[in-house]
Amino acid sequence: MCLIPDIVKTPLNYTGNKSRLLDQILPLFPKKINRFVDLCCGGASVGLNVLNRSKEVVCLDVNKNVIELLQTLQMFSEESIVAKVEQIIKDFNLSDTFNNGYDVYKKYVEGNNGFKNYNKIGYEKLRNYFNSTVMDLNTRAIYLLVLLSYCFNNDIRFNSSGKFNMPIGKTDFNASIRDKLHSFKIGTKNKNIKFYFSDFSVIKEFELSKNDFVYCDPPYLITNAVYNLANSKNNNPWTEEQEKALLKTLEYLHKNNVKFALSNVLSKENMENKILIDWIKLHDFKIVDIDYHYRSSSYHKKNRQAKEREVLILNYDI
């Protein structure tokens, strides 16, 4: 649980998101920031929570689907997003516990499968429709929001042909997801925040200076989230070359007097990120240990036993 009051929530349940670590990370950031860049923003849980101390927030990610979803959620009113989502729920005969209550669906619930049995057919029809229909960018994003609300672990994953391929999960567009959407809409209202589809290397073109600040939470080389892996399901695997290129980019920022903070994992069980450890030895950066146990939800119980050294690497004095 994050102890910071009034946290702005993201509607995306992103693997490796920093929501549970915000109370450890945010106090280490500068108090006043001109331009804040969340370089590998994912669900933007960090960028969304520096709006109160930054003149401008820019969130970048190489995942086009994620960025288009965030842009769409920013552009439309909460009422119109919810109305569109509810229409899709009706069209595909999916459960709607928020409006209809739990009892209507109770007889379909088996063990801890939630609404899986009730939604299976509708969800698969919806996923096929989404994967085979040409839609404008914003309509597509709303369909994706519905898929994410009903899919396994609310995770986002596309195969190499760009098809959404998550299986059915046990949740629906429930009070918790609506609450996150509401928080996102309230938190970004009249705020200077932009979401861009781009590789991290574009940062060199931003002409940042000493009052700007870059936060970077890249895929971790020694963990295996869906966005890390070089396999048939991922067009942008995180490789040693990407890691080295990112570290060079951070060196460039440092030389230009731009402050940065890099989240990463130095070691996990019997693995070490040697590239990063060697890089740290060459520089006089500050290493702050992060208590990653906060991050573990009940779903990730086994993380609690795993030995892992999660850190925040800073190129400035706190």
Task: By CB under 6 A, name the binding residues for ligand SAM.
Answer: 14, 16-18, 40-43, 45-46, 60-63, 199-200, 217-219, 227, 236, 238, 242
Rounded distance between C-alpha atoms, residue 116 and residue 184, angstroms: 27
Spatial distance between the Cα atoms of 76 and 68, rounded to a whole number of angstroms: 12
Q: Which is nearer to ligand SAM, 40 or 69 (CB)?
A: 40
CB 25 to ligand SAM: min, Å:
10
Tokens found for residue 41: 């923003």
**β partners of residue 263:** 312
Please answer whether residues 215 and 250 qualify as being in contact, where contact means their C-beta atoms are separated by less than 8 angstroms. no
* 291 neighbors 299 (Cβ within 8 angstroms): no
Residue whose beta carbon is closest to ligand SAM: 42
d(CA 92, CA 98): 16
Nearest CA among 296, 226, 205 for reference residue 63: 226
- Among residues 104 and 245, whose Cβ is nearest to ligand SAM? 245
How many CA within 13 A on the CB side of residue 98?
A: 15
For ligand SAM, the closer of residues 199 and 272 by Cβ is 199
Closer residue to ligand SAM (CB): 18 or 185: 18
Q: Closer to ligand SAM by CB, 109 or 225: give it.
A: 225
How near is the Cβ of 42 to ligand SAM at its closest, in Å?
Answer: 3
As measured in angstroms, the least distance from the Cβ of 195 to ligand SAM is 12
* Cβ at position 217, least distance to ligand SAM in Å: 4
* Smallest separation (angstroms) from ligand SAM to the CB of 48: 9
